[in-house]
Amino acid sequence: MPGQDNQSQPSPTAGNVEENEDEALVWEQIKSEARQDAESEPALASYLYSTVLSHSSLARSLSFHLGNKLCSSTLLSTLLYDLFLNTFSSDPSILSAAVADLRAARYRDPACISFSHCLLNYKGFLAIQTHRLAHKLWLEDRKPLALSLQSRISDVFAVDIHPGARIGKGVLLDHATGVVIGETAVVGNNVSILHHVTLGGTGKVSGDRHPRLGDGVLIGAGATILGNVKIGAGAKIGAGSVVLIDVPPWTTAVGNPATLVGGKEKPKVHEDVPGESMDHTSFISQWSDYMI
Amino acid sequence: MPGQDNQSQPSPTAGNVEENEDEALVWEQIKSEARQDAESEPALASYLYSTVLSHSSLARSLSFHLGNKLCSSTLLSTLLYDLFLNTFSSDPSILSAAVADLRAARYRDPACISFSHCLLNYKGFLAIQTHRLAHKLWLEDRKPLALSLQSRISDVFAVDIHPGARIGKGVLLDHATGVVIGETAVVGNNVSILHHVTLGGTGKVSGDRHPRLGDGVLIGAGATILGNVKIGAGAKIGAGSVVLIDVPPWTTAVGNPATLVGGKEKPKVHEDVPGESMDHTSFISQWSDYMI
Amino acid sequence: MPGQDNQSQPSPTAGNVEENEDEALVWEQIKSEARQDAESEPALASYLYSTVLSHSSLARSLSFHLGNKLCSSTLLSTLLYDLFLNTFSSDPSILSAAVADLRAARYRDPACISFSHCLLNYKGFLAIQTHRLAHKLWLEDRKPLALSLQSRISDVFAVDIHPGARIGKGVLLDHATGVVIGETAVVGNNVSILHHVTLGGTGKVSGDRHPRLGDGVLIGAGATILGNVKIGAGAKIGAGSVVLIDVPPWTTAVGNPATLVGGKEKPKVHEDVPGESMDHTSFISQWSDYMI
Amino acid sequence: MPGQDNQSQPSPTAGNVEENEDEALVWEQIKSEARQDAESEPALASYLYSTVLSHSSLARSLSFHLGNKLCSSTLLSTLLYDLFLNTFSSDPSILSAAVADLRAARYRDPACISFSHCLLNYKGFLAIQTHRLAHKLWLEDRKPLALSLQSRISDVFAVDIHPGARIGKGVLLDHATGVVIGETAVVGNNVSILHHVTLGGTGKVSGDRHPRLGDGVLIGAGATILGNVKIGAGAKIGAGSVVLIDVPPWTTAVGNPATLVGGKEKPKVHEDVPGESMDHTSFISQWSDYMI
Amino acid sequence: MPGQDNQSQPSPTAGNVEENEDEALVWEQIKSEARQDAESEPALASYLYSTVLSHSSLARSLSFHLGNKLCSSTLLSTLLYDLFLNTFSSDPSILSAAVADLRAARYRDPACISFSHCLLNYKGFLAIQTHRLAHKLWLEDRKPLALSLQSRISDVFAVDIHPGARIGKGVLLDHATGVVIGETAVVGNNVSILHHVTLGGTGKVSGDRHPRLGDGVLIGAGATILGNVKIGAGAKIGAGSVVLIDVPPWTTAVGNPATLVGGKEKPKVHEDVPGESMDHTSFISQWSDYMI
Amino acid sequence: MPGQDNQSQPSPTAGNVEENEDEALVWEQIKSEARQDAESEPALASYLYSTVLSHSSLARSLSFHLGNKLCSSTLLSTLLYDLFLNTFSSDPSILSAAVADLRAARYRDPACISFSHCLLNYKGFLAIQTHRLAHKLWLEDRKPLALSLQSRISDVFAVDIHPGARIGKGVLLDHATGVVIGETAVVGNNVSILHHVTLGGTGKVSGDRHPRLGDGVLIGAGATILGNVKIGAGAKIGAGSVVLIDVPPWTTAVGNPATLVGGKEKPKVHEDVPGESMDHTSFISQWSDYMI
């Protein structure tokens, strides 16, 4: 599952030129959107200037926005701002992952009308970016700070991602409220996860005890996946499903308890990438039990 | 489904006298409750005076309360206060819908001991009132501001209602945490929705892609309804159900995948209005599978 | 179910010496952890000093932390601080229950690396401690204040516990987001409840209408238990289950609708205490339907 | 002294059309300045939008700005905003006095480069506008609220004006820090007062015990005027002077104790209006003692 | 000068019963005033409840008010509240001095219409109470904390009192802005000091280098007293005076440089206590130079 | 007057190595003091960690502290923090001037017990550092931002320095409340200025209209210097003096109106540097009029 490996051991050279260009394009687009919104909506102009237009880079804008969103009376915004800014500067892979996440939201979610909308308003997006900082701190053995950030994400966004979890690029947490991702979970690239999804543990005291999701996976709202199970690349998990066993690549699992569409022996295999197509419901016809 | 139509195209004349009287009665009741609470509980007196007793109308009290609840370091309370107040003044149907929602909570939820309790403490109530403002802005094509409000509701109350959604009057979001309602969803009058309920989309890029709920519907906790399906007037959806197909009026659907109580051919039909009676569990005896 | 009774009518003498010692030990441990973290992580030192190290007792530290977490522009932190401090002073059983909860998190949750981590970061822990204050106020008929606290817990932690609910000692709300516990619910000692769990009502207007959980129960993520049902001591409810009928002690119920593992007539009985072992998934092999 | 009388008993009809036009012109100018500043200085754009550009009138902009400047943890900005807005709406003379004060600062103070600079940054200007609200409340016998506002002005701006004091139009408090104006003081129109100036009492228990300043008076920095004395129209008081006796119109008093320039019998009389020309020092040559 | 000695070495037994009664009377009066104000002025009711009416004692009300006034983003209100409350509890002489100061303001200042007005709004009063805490900390060699409080008083109230200064009881700082009192200064009982007064040092590196004021002294606005000089009991210093040499008891010094009214050899001696009568100006007739 | 010229046109190379070393020494000292204070005073530890100990350089600590001190609801701390940090990075002369000011306070003011005390608590020090940023912005023609900072200094510290004023290094504003320094004023190196001092204008519409102070000057409390006058190097101005004419180097001017000690023709000349010795009062014996 190369997606995750890339994420936690970013190669700082390959593709950087391209990524920098991409980041610059997205940032220009965000500023252009914010400028237009500020003009058409004076009540929002102040907010857009302080969060976007007054900043010289996406890294600064995002650091500022997260610092102000996550601060509390005991964790000052200036401290958080500093922390984010230093991280984005020292590890460019974190910012390029953020750009990939912006693109994911913009192109997969029909309700996402602009990059700036995602940057400013998507709690799933903001939670993941904070998680990337927390994860970096976790790997550097700065656990108390990493756990403090996890706690702030959980308080502010109602999204609970353990700083040990490894999350790929181009990931969309749509709506995001209630998502729980455990310590040893792995999420591949181009995965889409709806709200209330749990990638939970088994209660074993240590070691790998959380799910591993391959690239391009789609997890429907309220699905619960527990234990050290593999959800193969391109697999699709129906809303409300409860999954405790491996799901093969490019298949679909639905129900509580979950079963494979088409049956265990000869499951139906699809060809689109569900994490990107976000097709939540077209498998209905294959699964007769969904018929009322 | 006339309920929704009324909501988004309020007739500003019919019934206004009556509604104004009703609003006045409820506001008097709220002030009387707050006065009594302030006397019996000095620790709370300050809070009750600033949120209720110091205001000359329900519109001002609610605007003040929402402005302070939803403000952030970049969206000042004074700006939000202004926005709410202007809206309540220019569109009386929004306030009369709020009054209907207060009555819904007061009479349907046994845990709701007073109007003021709902006004001050019910995040579902406060989320819907903010949504009504966001929806109005959405219809006026002030999308960036509408989306900002959606984001604040989601951060502060963990309730995510797209500003495009059309919500009727007399609606109760009980407990409310985790409710997600998509852009083209429609919710009728006198509907009750428990927490963790999703009225979600199908991933299709545009057009109607979310559920439409008739008047008087009751949706149990954690139910997931996906796609452009119709939940007929007076229908009841059991807790934890996953529904992807139309449910006929006055019937009950339960389970994951959901089935109709009494069977698809001859479903059992009830006569009470479940959105008002809030009867979550009496259908157990009809649905043998619920028996452990 | 003696656990609950103890909780709402604490015997202020029995075991106090022991409990005081235990509290002292845990507080010493918390300070030692915080001291070490402050040294290794300067960015967090300020936070740790203000929340832990500058205080002379666990009661003060917890009161300070909760006052700052739960305050709003209309409920000042100083007021809340006072309220918590007075309660911890006048009713030592509340603090000793907090210590038991700290131990529960520390020993049951493999992701909980220290007492101070739980004290500062676990929203489930913080929600329960606030609930204990709210419950005490509720019993003293200070309902408006109790309901205000419920509302703040729901806004800040996305955990909704009615102040009337009776909660035992040594209780763990893991992840906690989305937990809803109704007015007449009872939760025994040493119970573990995962996120998104509902102990909900039936809509009947008054009287006992919520579940009663015996000691040592484990409720998996997203489970919904509705009505005045008894979940016997040591029972285990699988993730995503919907339960509307009594579950016998030491048995396991899974699925939507829930069924007993081993069957209704001769359910399989386990011997460990699931609320303590946190074994979420080992019952898979007994429940063939979970097989994909 | 008609200036003061006008101020406390404004004739609401005469000259209103003209004043409204004047207000509109100044407000247009302020918005134009703010727009230009926001463009040239992105770091400030957010501030300028929230304080000026997002508002539909000078009254709203000023109310917003003062509400945010004067609020505290126990006096919420929304409450103050409401109070200012209601007052500006119900008493147009207060807003027209503010416009006259803006003009005074703009044309008399060479350091005042724009109307918006005065509106946003001049604590003397902001203190007087708040005083006008406090004075109105005082006359309506709402003394506790009037005194609270006095206290906030003193905390925030270090300017202490008793709400009973009557202040004319076109008044400039330059630098303003440390100005103290007592309960029965009267300040005419077009007066300029530098910082650290005291218009103080005599300690008599009641009745008129503070200075009365005629129109066009100029009081230099640090001057102390005590007791029920008259400073005649167009008089000039040198910096650091201590005055306890009447000063005739159009004369100059300097020194501690103060003496008239030119002598008590035949004091030198000037012809310019010192409150408008702000000539602080040209009288040196007439007062030989100032020579070092 | 026994006043000062009493202040810094309070005898905790003598007169305590009487003082407690006095405190109780004043506190009852304050609550009664606040209750009446809250009723007549709803806009202020919230403020009055949170600062006065919700508290069980003057010590709590004052601690709460000062905690909220002096807090900053890095010095939390809860920390300050605790500090004040502990001090008032452990050293009753500090609270009884506060009561004497309340009486001083109420009876000497004609603009002080109630005890609650002074308690809530008089920055001089609030600055002195904070100083008493800082002074106590200074004597306990907790210098960094004492100096932090000095800094907060100077920021918030523009009053700069070194924590080493010894201040008696029944002291009134009228208007208070700009008062500066140095480290080794001593202020007797029943002294009144107007705004902008300096009790300053001489620049000598250490030791006694600031003024010592006897009981009943009155210092006019803007007076500057420098060096280790004695201002005898009952002496009066005119506004704007500059004093660098001892002033005998019951005499009056005026001017820059200051001279004794009546002359150095046979100064005029008065019989009232100027610190209590607050007679600022009646000495004019004795000092011909004040004549313009 | 080379001091000022250096200040506004810093030579970035000469002496930099030395200055960097000096800065490093002072910063080490500050951290060591803060560490010791944090240990001895737990109540302050949090504050010291967040303002000093958690930072990697003096520039970051000072930027953080000023950002939090000067922020308002419309000027966020993160914006100010950024602004300060960028300035300290791009113009090292500003930080080295801050170090010189720290040394000035530490060695001249007997009440200044440590560098960290000055850094954290001296409003005069903090006002000057903010002014240096404002001055730099002024020279870059970013006037609106420069004037906003002036306004914040005036609100927060009651110190009003026009951003156009040129201030040297090693300057001490002792107590600082009420200091006013005009647009074209110039303050040399190693100057000490007490509180309430005015370096004011003459009301002329433009051009040089404020005082110019040479190196080593000392200005006593409450002195008022008006107009384009020169105060020669090493001159001393007595407290409360009013000066409107040039004062020769190394002489002393006292009184209102000010006269030279020793007389205009043969003024007494001193040899110490009064701005450094801070000798406020030893000239008494030379000026007989000060004798009472």
pLDDT per residue over C185-222, tens digit each? 999 999 999 999 999 987 656 788 999 999 999 999 99
- Domain assignment present for B165: no
Res. F12 pLDDT band, cuts 50 70 90: very low
Nearest CA in chain F to C54: F42
Whether B226 and A239 lie within 8 Å, measured CB to CB: yes
The C-alpha atoms of residue C23 and residue C100 are separated, in whole angstroms, by 9
What integer pLDDT is reported at residue C264 of this predicted model?
A: 85
The alpha-carbon gap from A87 to the nearest alpha carbon of chain D, in Å, equals: 23
Residue B46 and residue B106 in one domain:
yes
Residue of D144, D224, D246 with shortest CB distance to E221: D224
Whether C76 and D76 lie within 8 Å, measured CB to CB: no
- Lowest-confidence pick of C76-85, C126-135, D173-182, D275-284: D275-284
Residue C147 and residue C183 in one domain:
no
Residue C147 and residue C244 in one domain:
no
Find chain B residues with C-beta within 8 A of A240's C-beta. Answer: 222, 224, 240, 242, 256
Residue F108 and residue F241 in one domain:
no
CB E210 within 8 A of CB E165: yes
What integer pLDDT is reported at residue F262 of this predicted model?
A: 86
Res. C4 pLDDT band, cuts 50 70 90: very low
Q: Is the pLDDT of residue B289 over 60?
A: no
pLDDT per residue over F204-228, tens digit each? 567 899 999 999 999 999 999 999 9
The C-alpha atoms of residue C207 and residue C210 are separated, in whole angstroms, by 9
Chain D interface, best mutation among B46, B65, B78, B85, by max D CB count within 10 A:
B78
Res. B280 pLDDT band, cuts 50 70 90: low
Residue E153 and residue E223 in one domain:
no
Q: Is the pLDDT of residue C18 over 80?
A: no
What integer pLDDT is reported at residue E64 of this predicted model?
A: 93
Q: Is the pLDDT of residue A167 over 90?
A: yes
Whether F45 and C49 lie within 8 Å, measured CB to CB: yes
Report the CATH number at residue F140. Answer: 1.10.3130.10
Residue F291 and residue F189 in one domain:
yes
- Residue the block writes with tokens 């126990």: D74
Let me know how long chain E is.
292
Find chain D residues with C-beta within 8 A of C74's C-beta. Answer: 76
Whether B78 and D60 lie within 8 Å, measured CB to CB: no
Whether F54 and C38 lie within 8 Å, measured CB to CB: no
pLDDT per residue over A216-234, tens digit each? 999 999 999 999 999 999 9
- Domain assignment present for C165: no
pLDDT per residue over A244-287, tens digit each? 999 999 999 999 889 998 888 888 898 888 888 777 665 544 44
Find chain A residues with C-beta within 8 A of F77's C-beta. Answer: 76-78
pLDDT per residue over D240-287, tens digit each? 999 999 999 999 999 888 999 888 889 889 888 888 877 766 554 444
Residue E43 and residue E137 in one domain:
yes
- Lowest-confidence pick of B57-71, C74-88, D96-110, E239-253: C74-88
Res. C45 pLDDT band, cuts 50 70 90: confident
How many inter-chain contacts (C to E, CB under 8 Å) are there? 33
Neighbours of E, requiring at least 3 CB pairs below 8 Å, are A, B, C, D, F
Measure the CA angle with vertex B125, ends B124 and B131; round to 5°.
Answer: 85
CA F282 to the chain's CA centroid:
24
CB D63 within 8 A of CB D51: no
Residue F194 and residue F263 in one domain:
yes
- Domain assignment present for A230: yes
Residues of chain A whose beta carbon is less than 8 angstroms from a beta carbon of chain E are 73-74, 76
Domain that holds residue D27: 1-159
Q: Is the pLDDT of residue F291 over 90?
A: no
Q: Is the pLDDT of residue F195 over 60?
A: yes
The alpha-carbon gap from F161 to the nearest alpha carbon of chain B, in Å, equals: 28
Helix (H) or strand (E) holding C153: helix C143-157
Residue of F43, F51, F239 with shortest CB distance to E145: F43
CB D173 within 8 A of CB D199: no
What integer pLDDT is reported at residue B110 of this predicted model?
A: 86
The C-alpha atoms of residue E108 and residue E166 are separated, in whole angstroms, by 22
The mean pLDDT value for B28-32 works out to 97
- Domain assignment present for B166: no
Residue F189 and residue F289 in one domain:
yes
DSSP code, position B49 = I
Residue F123 vs residue E290, higher pLDDT: F123
The alpha-carbon gap from B249 to the nearest alpha carbon of chain A, in Å, equals: 13
pLDDT per residue over D192-201, tens digit each? 999 999 999 8
Q: Is the pLDDT of residue A114 over 50?
A: yes
Residues of chain F whose beta carbon is less than 8 angstroms from a beta carbon of chain A are 46, 50, 54, 60, 64, 67-68, 74, 76-79, 81-82
What integer pLDDT is reported at residue B3 of this predicted model?
A: 37
Chain A interface, best mutation among D37, D47, D50, by max A CB count within 10 A:
D50
- Domain assignment present for D229: yes
Find chain F residues with C-beta within 8 A of E247's C-beta. Answer: 292
Q: Is the pLDDT of residue F113 over 80?
A: yes
Region label for D68, one of left (φ > 0), alpha (ψ between -120 and 50) or beta (otherwise)? alpha
- Domain assignment present for D173: no
Chain C interface, best mutation among A155, A225, A245, by max C CB count within 10 A:
A155
Whether D51 and F74 lie within 8 Å, measured CB to CB: yes
Find chain F residues with C-beta within 8 A of C48's C-beta. Answer: 46
> What residues have CB less than 8 Å from F112, skipping those under 6 apart?
F105, F106, F118, F122
CA E231 to the chain's CA centroid:
17
What integer pLDDT is reported at residue E207 of this predicted model?
A: 82
What integer pLDDT is reported at residue D15 of this predicted model?
A: 52
Whether A78 and F67 lie within 8 Å, measured CB to CB: yes
pLDDT per residue over D132-142, tens digit each? 999 999 999 99
Provide the whole-model pTM. Answer: 0.87
pLDDT per residue over E59-89, tens digit each? 999 999 999 999 988 888 888 998 999 999 8
pLDDT per residue over F133-186, tens digit each? 999 999 999 999 999 999 999 999 999 999 999 999 999 999 999 999 999 999
3-class SS shares of chain B: helix, strand, coil, % to 5: 50, 10, 40
Report the CATH number at residue D201. Answer: 2.160.10.10
Residue F189 vs residue A208, higher pLDDT: F189
What integer pLDDT is reported at residue E265 of this predicted model?
A: 87
Whether A46 and D38 lie within 8 Å, measured CB to CB: no
Q: Provide the ipTM.
A: 0.90
Find chain B residues with C-beta within 8 A of C154's C-beta. Answer: 123, 175, 177
Whether B227 and A277 lie within 8 Å, measured CB to CB: no
CB E120 within 8 A of CB E52: yes
Nearest CA in chain A to E78: A73
Chain F interface, best mutation among C46, C47, C56, C60, by max F CB count within 10 A:
C46
Residue C201 and residue C270 in one domain:
yes
| CB-CB neighbours of E184 under 10 Å | 21
Whether C46 and F43 lie within 8 Å, measured CB to CB: no
pLDDT per residue over F217-261, tens digit each? 999 999 999 999 999 999 999 999 999 999 999 999 998 889 898
Positions of chain E with pLDDT lower than 70, given as ranges = 1-17, 203-205, 280-292
pLDDT per residue over B201-252, tens digit each? 876 567 889 999 999 999 999 999 999 999 999 999 999 999 999 999 999 9
- Domain assignment present for F174: no
Domain boundary among B93, B128, B159: B159
- Domain assignment present for E173: no
The DSSP string of chain F is -HHHHHHHS--SSTTHHHHHHHHHHHHHHHHHHHHHHHHH-HHHHHHHIIIIIT-SSHHHHHHHHHHHHH--SSS-HHHHHHHHHHHHHH-HHHHHHHHHHHHHHHHH-TT---HHHHHHH-HHHHHHHHHHHHHHHHHTT-HHHHHHHHHHHHHHHS-EE-TT-EE-SS-EESS-TT-EE-TT-EE-TT-EE-TT-EEE----SSSS-S-EE-TT-EE-TT-EEESS-EE-TT-EE-TT-EE-S-B-TT-EEETTTTEETT-SSS-----S-HHHH---SGGGGG-GGG--
The alpha-carbon gap from A160 to the nearest alpha carbon of chain F, in Å, equals: 26
Q: One-letter amino acid identity for E11?
A: S
DSSP code, position E258 = T
Domain boundary among C159, C188, C210: C159
Residue E4 and residue E106 in one domain:
yes
Nearest CA in chain F to A47: F74
What is the pLDDT tens value at each position of chain D, 292 positions in all? 333 333 333 344 445 667 777 899 999 999 999 999 988 988 888 889 889 998 999 999 999 999 999 999 888 888 899 899 999 988 999 999 999 999 999 998 888 999 999 999 999 999 999 999 999 999 999 999 999 999 999 999 999 999 999 999 999 999 999 999 999 999 999 999 999 999 998 765 678 899 999 999 999 999 999 999 999 999 999 999 999 999 999 999 998 889 998 888 898 898 888 888 777 665 544 443 344 4
Residues of chain D whose beta carbon is less than 8 angstroms from a beta carbon of chain A are 38, 42-43, 45-50, 53-54
Domain count for chain F, please give it: 2
Residue D23 and residue D75 in one domain:
yes
Nearest CA in chain B to D65: B78
Res. B286 pLDDT band, cuts 50 70 90: very low
Whether the link from the prior residue into E110 is cis, omega within 30° of 0, is no
Residue of B42, B43, B54 with shortest CB distance to E46: B54
- Residue the block writes with tokens 């234990």: A227
Nearest CA in chain B to C182: B111
What integer pLDDT is reported at residue C17 of this predicted model?
A: 66
Neighbours of A, requiring at least 3 CB pairs below 8 Å, are B, C, D, E, F
Strand, coil or helix: what is A49? Answer: helix
Nearest CA in chain B to E50: B46
Measure the CA angle with vertex B186, ends B180 and B190; round to 5°.
Answer: 95
Residue of C46, C76, C82 with shortest CB distance to E68: C76
Residue of F145, F154, F178 with shortest CB distance to D196: F178
- Residue the block writes with tokens 């100027």: E274
